A and B are shown apart, each in its own frame.
Chain A
Amino acid sequence: MMQCLPCCLRVLAIAWLVGLAAAPTSTYAYEADLGVLVRKSQRAAVKVYGAGGGGLVAYQSGFLVSPDGHIATAWSHVLDVEPVVVLDDGRRLNATIVGFEPRLELAVLKIDAGDLPFLELAESLPELADPILAVSNLFGIASGGEPASVMHGSVSAISRLDARRGTFKTPYTGTVLILDLVANNPGAAGGAVVSVDGRAIGMLGKELRDASAGVWLNYALPSSALREAIGNIIAGRTVVASDTESPPLPRDRSHHPESLGLDLIPDVLEHTPAFVDRVRADSPAARADVRPDDLILLVGNTRIGSQQGLRETLRRIDRRDRVVLTLQRGAQIVSVTLQP
């Protein structure tokens, strides 16, 4: 019986295509409609190119969530630089990172273009066994203006990842859609999972491997969990890119890492990540339990892309004010408040 199950799900995949058929007398009618859904998904899909190296690929996937050029994608190392986005029509555009939500491993990009095809985000979770398409640029197969890869399958489980915390190294602890297709490959993160009604029901997550069993997970973050964050980022209600508009305070009146008790790793790169090397005793950082190897992601609502970015942001905060840091500690996201 257990062995039968995946097989049944495959049969269901046919079922939904039959559901698409305009007229059952035309045996091939459903293919045309599947083609419509495939093209709709592909047209909203984008390729994202950014930082890579050291065994990490420099590309990932994303999809348009508004006609004005907002793109949902995975928050990852690829976005360590301002990324370049290639649309389905082959246009190659510079993108800005509008904001991101580390707990959801979500980032929203913006390109300067309008009237774009996009996918609506589903409000609720899909049902178990719902058939889906996954569209992404896995393995970077599609280059230039070539359309993204499309795969099919179904939602085989809807489950919380934190049910087995520690097994999967991810800061995301909410509900995920477990898929019956091998969707989460290098470059697939940020791709769209599309339902039969043409809405995005989820976003493919970064590759996750069961630490003990070595099994790779095929999953997506449900749109229902992403919608609000995406909306907030687009509306400017949440994390924003580094604030360089307001003037910095004089050096002796502003914060800097040392004033908080933070020694960072040597700043040797153009964009050295803001990793904590040492925490000085009896400092605000020590009292807030900041630890070596913590990565500083946010200061307040401002994204920290590098040590230089951290210093510039701290220069705009009065030394007498408290500082809220969002840290990545291993697979966890931690918020701490440093009281001077």
Chain B
Amino acid sequence: MKCCALIDSAAVARLIRTASAVALLGASAGGLPSSASGADTDSRNSAAPTAEVPAAENRPAVELDPRLEEAERRRIEAVERALPATVSIFVPGGGGGGSGVLISPDGYALTNFHVTSPAGTYMRCGLSDGRIYDAVIIGIDPVGDLALIRLLGRDDFPYAEMADSRRATVGQWCMVIGNPFLLATNLQPSVSWGILSGVGRYQYPAGTLLEYADCLQTDASINPGNSGGPLFDDSGRLLGIVGRASFEKRGRVNVGVGYAISINQAKNFLGDLRSGRILDHATLGATVATDAEGGARVSNILQSSDAYRRGLRYGHTILEIDGRSVSTANEVQNVLATLPPQWRVKLDYLDRGERKSTLVRLANLHGFDELLTKMAAALPPPPPVPDAPKPDDGSEKPAEGSGEDDQPRGDERPPGAEPTGAIPEAVAKLFEARRGYANYQPNRLKQQALVDALRRRFPPVATADGGEKVASTPGVVWRVEGVSDDEAARPVKLQIGDGSYSLIVGDRTVQASKASELYDGVLAGNASGLLACLEAWRALLVQGPAGYGECYYRGQVPLLGQRPLRDCLIGVAGELEAAWLLHPESGALEAIEVTADRDADPAELLVTWGTDPAQPPTHLELRYGTQSLLKLRVETWELGPTAEGQP
């Protein structure tokens, strides 16, 4: 066979038996990996001694194949690279625990929702440096079984580099590091080594909420307590978050089959997790069935779905979602279940033999109240640990937590309902309870940060000391002039401010004086959507988040189906919902969406900037769905007091 030509099996056998002889002679000095961390800590008490080997002089002089030594050296390096980022999570009060992995130097760590849920808002986390850190809940994804927590006390945490889990292949080496059976009471995580047994696996929902899609299957040993911990590739890069295993009749121990949520799914949800919200998953608003002749055929579709508005119909065949080709119903679900709701992604489908490409907005899988109810019902019990170790048994434990044994286990409480008096002050300061949120504080801070970013750019805002420009304060009107960016090149005049909105394109004029007129314009899909979008921008600059009935940071979303993911702020005022999309690095406002009716297309304003953030945008484009209604090349953008006369 072709394979045999690649393999010198006799040499392999010789090599193995040589190594076997070495190993059996007790050559622990010969390169066996030690499980101790590379960190400078004196808590390294579990690993076998590596110094003296008795009767060493009796060993035959065996030459190890240099490639074996090289492979072993690489493996030890990978373990040393990966180990410091691994978190051993303990629920205060002996309520269980699990594992996690740090993903940023400021202490953000990923774990499973089912690990944090018994703890609620506050966990204690051990690292291999031998220290225990307090951690606060940030965001949770009960459907995808992910949670984001933040370890406190450092801004230089070791963290894991993320791999691209789409490139993972069956048979590649991998390792699981974590806190199986909560053994890491000495804060030294356990390492198990294996291969990927399968990729792109789909696991049916367990209970009512949990769904594992597009996950990685490994034979590296996974046991209760490994939940939430990292699956690394063989160079120590993060491939996934361990979360589930096929525990069947052998009891709740490793049976050679463990699953990890792909790190690419976690990347998709990371921005949303940082919002502190309780997250939902997405639906296309259509069901598909695998066709007998192959292909994922639409078997049902909601007329209110965006997919329907974009032309998807019963009987069409879905070819690609978000750039990933699909050919079975399972594959469709494998892609959809890894995407957050409200994302707009590329969809390619076959309509009577014709390939069509469009953008669809994904809907929420659950109603908001439905999600909270199901989550409360589906809270899994903490991992069964016969002798849950108490964190205060160890000498490493800081003194201030001694009263925490009185604290209830918290597994019946919804996240956020924790009495703040029972948790350390440093944690309590970083937590704000609010319905619908795992922790409202990160959301509030991010809202403010985004508005601040907007205010640092054009148009300028009045400074507190009454500085030279009095631009976006109440009573200020934006006057924009330019030409339509088409062959006609008609002159365009815009005025936005204080109950007086007007748009003049050539000889056509649109005027409005109150929000309800803007609402009707968006609903009708006409040009006054441009006024609604600009008013949303102006109002946010003037009033900030407080100016809206409800304002929140949604997380990160693609813009027109494209990455990088943009920060997305939402504001609801009356019947209009506005969304502002900002570039994650520059803070530039790139799009404003105003929705009048969830079952209709929102008005969408794309904003294009030049190089100078102090200068006005160069282009504006109003779109509904995938249609462009008006393109405008901006010439002047003036900020002035209320106009006397209407244009």
* Cα separation A7 to B217 with both chains bound (whole Å): 22
Chain A residues with CB under 8 A of B201 = 141-142, 146
- The segment out of B62-70, B79-87, B95-103, B611-619 that lies at the interface is B62-70
B87 to chain A, nearest CB (A): 25
B193 sits at the interface (CB 8 A): yes
Q: Report whether B19 and A149 are in contact in the complex, using a CB–CB cutoff of 8 Å.
A: no
Give which listed residue, A12, A18, A40, A133, contacts B23 with CB less than 8 A.
A12
* Cα separation A37 to B4 with both chains bound (whole Å): 9
Given A4-B48, A130-B13, A152-B195, the answer on whether A139 and B248 have CB atoms closer than 8 Å is yes
- B12, B65, B328: most-surrounded residue (chain A CB, <10 A): B12
* Cα separation A196 to B193 with both chains bound (whole Å): 19
* Cα separation A234 to B335 with both chains bound (whole Å): 44
Chain B residues with CB under 8 A of A27 = 70, 74
* Cα separation A21 to B15 with both chains bound (whole Å): 13
* Cα separation A194 to B20 with both chains bound (whole Å): 20
* Cα separation A272 to B107 with both chains bound (whole Å): 64
Give which listed residue, B3, B74, B173, B193, contacts A40 with CB less than 8 A.
B3
Closest A residue to B327 by CB, please name it: A145
* Cα separation A42 to B12 with both chains bound (whole Å): 22
B562 sits at the interface (CB 8 A): no
Given A141-B246, A151-B256, the answer on whether A4 and B26 have CB atoms closer than 8 Å is yes
- Size class of the A contact interface (CB-based, 8 Å): 35 or more
* Cα separation A190 to B256 with both chains bound (whole Å): 17
Give which listed residue, A12, A21, A150, contacts B19 with CB less than 8 A.
A12
Given A129-B17, A130-B16, the answer on whether A149 and B257 have CB atoms closer than 8 Å is yes
Chain A residues with CB under 8 A of B67 = 18-19, 21, 24
* Cα separation A14 to B69 with both chains bound (whole Å): 10
Q: Report whether B4 and A197 are in contact in the complex, using a CB–CB cutoff of 8 Å.
A: yes
Closest B residue to A22 by CB, please name it: B6
B172 sits at the interface (CB 8 A): yes
A227 to chain B, nearest CB (A): 17
Q: Binary interface profile of A, 135-156, with partner B (CB < 8 Å = 1, else 0)?
A: 0001101111111011111000
Q: Binary interface profile of B, 239-265, with partner A (CB < 8 Å = 1, else 0)?
A: 000000010111000111100000000
Q: Report whether A127 and B23 are in contact in the complex, using a CB–CB cutoff of 8 Å.
A: no
A104 to chain B, nearest CB (A): 24
- Size class of the B contact interface (CB-based, 8 Å): 35 or more
Chain B positions within 8 Å of A, measured between CB atoms, are: 1-4, 6-9, 11-13, 15-17, 19-20, 23-24, 26, 28, 31-32, 48, 65-68, 70-72, 74-75, 169-173, 193-195, 197-198, 200-202, 217, 219, 234, 246, 248-250, 254-257, 290, 328, 330
B591 to chain A, nearest CB (A): 39
A181 sits at the interface (CB 8 A): yes
Give which listed residue, A4, A139, A147, contacts B170 with CB less than 8 A.
A147
A11 sits at the interface (CB 8 A): yes
Chain B residues with CB under 8 A of A39 = 170-171
* Cα separation A151 to B23 with both chains bound (whole Å): 23
Given A18-B70, A181-B256, the answer on whether A42 and B24 have CB atoms closer than 8 Å is no
Can you name 12 A-B pairs with beta carbons within 8 Å? A1-B26, A11-B23, A18-B71, A30-B71, A120-B1, A127-B13, A129-B16, A129-B17, A133-B171, A141-B217, A150-B171, A182-B257
A209 to chain B, nearest CB (A): 9
Q: Report whether B15 and A18 are in contact in the complex, using a CB–CB cutoff of 8 Å.
A: yes
Chain B residues with CB under 8 A of A133 = 171
Closest B residue to A195 by CB, please name it: B9
* Cα separation A133 to B23 with both chains bound (whole Å): 21
* Cα separation A55 to B6 with both chains bound (whole Å): 44
- A27, A144, A150: most-surrounded residue (chain B CB, <10 A): A150
Chain B residues with CB under 8 A of A144 = 290, 328, 330
Chain A residues with CB under 8 A of B66 = 24
Q: Report whether A185 and B255 are in contact in the complex, using a CB–CB cutoff of 8 Å.
A: yes
Q: Report whether A10 and B256 are in contact in the complex, using a CB–CB cutoff of 8 Å.
A: no
Closest A residue to B294 by CB, please name it: A90
**Secondary structure of the B contact surface, majority rule:** mixed
Chain A residues with CB under 8 A of B12 = 15-16, 19-20, 196-197
A131 sits at the interface (CB 8 A): yes
Chain B residues with CB under 8 A of A248 = none
Q: Report whether A198 and B26 are in contact in the complex, using a CB–CB cutoff of 8 Å.
A: no
Given A10-B193, A129-B16, the answer on whether A198 and B1 have CB atoms closer than 8 Å is yes
Closest B residue to A117 by CB, please name it: B1
Chain A residues with CB under 8 A of B254 = 182
Chain B residues with CB under 8 A of A139 = 246, 248, 257
Given A19-B15, A181-B256, the answer on whether A31 and B24 have CB atoms closer than 8 Å is no
- What would 16 more interface pairs be, CB under 8 Å, given A18-B70, A31-B172? A4-B26, A10-B193, A11-B19, A11-B32, A16-B15, A20-B12, A24-B67, A27-B74, A38-B170, A127-B17, A128-B20, A131-B16, A141-B201, A196-B7, A197-B4, A216-B250
Give which listed residue, A12, A138, A147, contacts B20 with CB less than 8 A.
A12
Chain A residues with CB under 8 A of B250 = 182, 216
A34 sits at the interface (CB 8 A): yes
Q: Report whether B4 and A152 are in contact in the complex, using a CB–CB cutoff of 8 Å.
A: no
A54 sits at the interface (CB 8 A): no
* Cα separation A250 to B200 with both chains bound (whole Å): 60
* Cα separation A186 to B26 with both chains bound (whole Å): 37
Chain B residues with CB under 8 A of A152 = 194-195, 219
- A22, A142, A151, A216: most-surrounded residue (chain B CB, <10 A): A151
Closest A residue to B249 by CB, please name it: A186
A163 sits at the interface (CB 8 A): no
A84 to chain B, nearest CB (A): 15
Q: Report whether A15 and B194 are in contact in the complex, using a CB–CB cutoff of 8 Å.
A: no
Give which listed residue, A11, A131, A150, contacts B198 with CB less than 8 A.
A150
Q: Report whether A196 and B9 are in contact in the complex, using a CB–CB cutoff of 8 Å.
A: yes
* Cα separation A229 to B594 with both chains bound (whole Å): 73
Chain B residues with CB under 8 A of A195 = 9
* Cα separation A143 to B197 with both chains bound (whole Å): 14
Q: Report whether B16 and A16 are in contact in the complex, using a CB–CB cutoff of 8 Å.
A: yes
- B9, B16, B48: most-surrounded residue (chain A CB, <10 A): B16
Chain B residues with CB under 8 A of A150 = 170-171, 195, 197-198, 219
Q: Report whether B171 and A34 are in contact in the complex, using a CB–CB cutoff of 8 Å.
A: yes
Q: Report whether A24 and B70 are in contact in the complex, using a CB–CB cutoff of 8 Å.
A: yes
A13 to chain B, nearest CB (A): 8
Closest A residue to B17 by CB, please name it: A127
* Cα separation A268 to B9 with both chains bound (whole Å): 55
Q: Report whether B198 and A33 are in contact in the complex, using a CB–CB cutoff of 8 Å.
A: no
* Cα separation A17 to B249 with both chains bound (whole Å): 33
Give which listed residue, B7, B17, B65, B202, contacts A198 with CB less than 8 A.
B7
Given A4-B26, A130-B16, the answer on whether A14 and B170 have CB atoms closer than 8 Å is no
A8 sits at the interface (CB 8 A): yes
Chain A residues with CB under 8 A of B193 = 10
Closest A residue to B201 by CB, please name it: A141
Given A150-B195, A152-B219, the answer on whether A8 and B32 have CB atoms closer than 8 Å is yes
* Cα separation A146 to B74 with both chains bound (whole Å): 32
* Cα separation A183 to B71 with both chains bound (whole Å): 26
Given A12-B16, A35-B171, A197-B4, the answer on whether A151 and B197 have CB atoms closer than 8 Å is yes
